[in-house]
Amino acid sequence: MNTKAKQVVIAGVFILLVVVVVCGGYANSVFTPDLPRPSFEPVTDSAAAAPDFASGTWINSEPLTLKSLQGRVVLIEFWTFACYNCRNTLPFVKRWHEQYADKGLTIVGVHSPELPEERNLDNVRREVASLGLRYAIVTDNDYKTWEAYKVSAWPTIFVLDKTGHVRWRHVGEGAYDECEQQIKALLAADSTQSGAAKQSTKKDEKTEMNDKITKSEDEWRKELTPAQYHVLREAGTEQAFTGAYWDNHEKGVYHCAACGLPLFSSDTKFDSGTGWPSFYQPITAANVIEVTDNTLGMERTEVRCRRCGSHLGHVFADGPRPTGLRYCMNSVSLKLEKQ
């Protein structure tokens, strides 16, 4: 190779290097601004008690506190609706809610905005509904919760054990299998193993764990009327405009007719014109399970009681504000306790 050829090769390599460095930097600055490399770590410091949620607007749930969630595993995701990386994690978070809510997992999405339009509550509510998020969401417009958890990027997931201590932390997309393993391990763990577990919480945890009601179908058949049994245990549907509650306007709390768990408040009931009692949100997302129902040749979301697994009705995305959801229930699945 003569000297000129060598110079050409060296110049070529140099240009190639410049292109790689510049493009890499460009891609980094355009697609992942300020986002650190994904990282995850089990947190072993038993003293790492999680900070409580700062005040914000709650969607899909009554306001929750970590104290009220003692005995449950809690997954907290810091997200914001326009964040591409957050949106990629949501299908996994939704699946965990669907799969583990009735096994003791509560998911709270802390919505800490990045862009000005993400601070608008109507926008957040619209996105929560259109993304099909049914777990509890709390707004964090002043970043109080974000700062308390020392978060620096979207999305960041924390998993807390049954005593409210941080056991897992992950920044960015990915590590879904590891996160799910962590959830399962914490759900299975005896909560008293935590160094910080207090005597006083033991009773609550037991209540929570034994809270699920399982009865044989024979037992249910004896306890329920034939109409109740057909809807609650065989996922039947009462005829429209025939039930006790479709046109009821009394104040109170609607409980599961099979096990008595409080499910809906009359404050969230609205006239849907369907002939079935309709609500725009459950009393707390933790009291219902939502499962995909492919019967009758269409995909719908079935709603069941979290405690006894009985069928209540379906939920549709054509409801009124503020959630945009319509929980279409069977009167026969409910029992109103008047206020």
Positions touching Zn ion (CB under 5 A) are 256, 258-259, 261, 305, 307-308, 310
Minimum separation from the CB atom of position 258 to Zn ion (A) = 5
Catalytic residue among 83, 179, 259, 328: 328
What phi-psi label fits residue 241: left (phi over 0), alpha (psi between -120 and 50 degrees) or beta?
left
Name the strand (E) or helix (H) holding 304.
strand 300-305
Please confirm, yes or no, whether 328 is among the known catalytic residues: yes
Q: Tokens in use for 123? A: 């926008």
Instruction: Report the half-sphere exposure of 324 (CA within 13 A, side-chain side).
Output: 15
Which residue number, 256 or 285, has a Cβ lying nearer to Zn ion?
256
Cα 99 to Cα 291: distance, rounded to the nearest angstrom: 9
Mutual angle of helices 176-188 and 84-100, in 10-degree steps: 30
Alpha helix (H) ranges present in the chain? 3-31, 84-100, 121-130, 144-148, 176-188, 199-209, 217-223, 226-234
Give the alpha-carbon dihedral of 250, 254, 258, 262, to 10 degrees.
-150
Q: For residue 40, give the DSSP letter.
A: E
Q: Give the DSSP letter string of 116-148.
A: GGGG-HHHHHHHHHHTT--SEEEE-TT-HHHHH
Count CA atoms closer than 13 A to 36's CA, side-chain side: 10
What whole-number distance in Å separates Cα of residue 240 and Cα of residue 332? 11
Q: How far is the CB of 212 from Zn ion (least distance, A)?
A: 10
Query: By C-beta, is 209 or 261 nearer to Zn ion?
Result: 261
State which residue, 197 or 259, has the beta carbon closest to Zn ion.
Answer: 259
For residues 32 and 114, the answer to whether their CB atoms sit within 8 Å is no
User: By C-beta, is 39 or 225 nearer to Zn ion?
Assistant: 225
Closer residue to Zn ion in complex, CB, 121/261: 261
Q: How far is the CB of 73 from Zn ion (least distance, A)?
A: 22
Q: How far is the CB of 144 from Zn ion (least distance, A)?
A: 36
Closer residue to Zn ion, CB minimum distance, 140 or 238: 238
Q: Choose among 198, 119, 230: nearest CA to 127.
A: 119
Task: Give least dist CB 260 to Zn ion, A.
Answer: 7
**Least distance (Å) between residue 261 CB and Zn ion:** 5
Query: With contact defined as beta carbons under 8 Å apart, do 259 and 305 qualify?
Result: yes
Catalytic center residues:
328
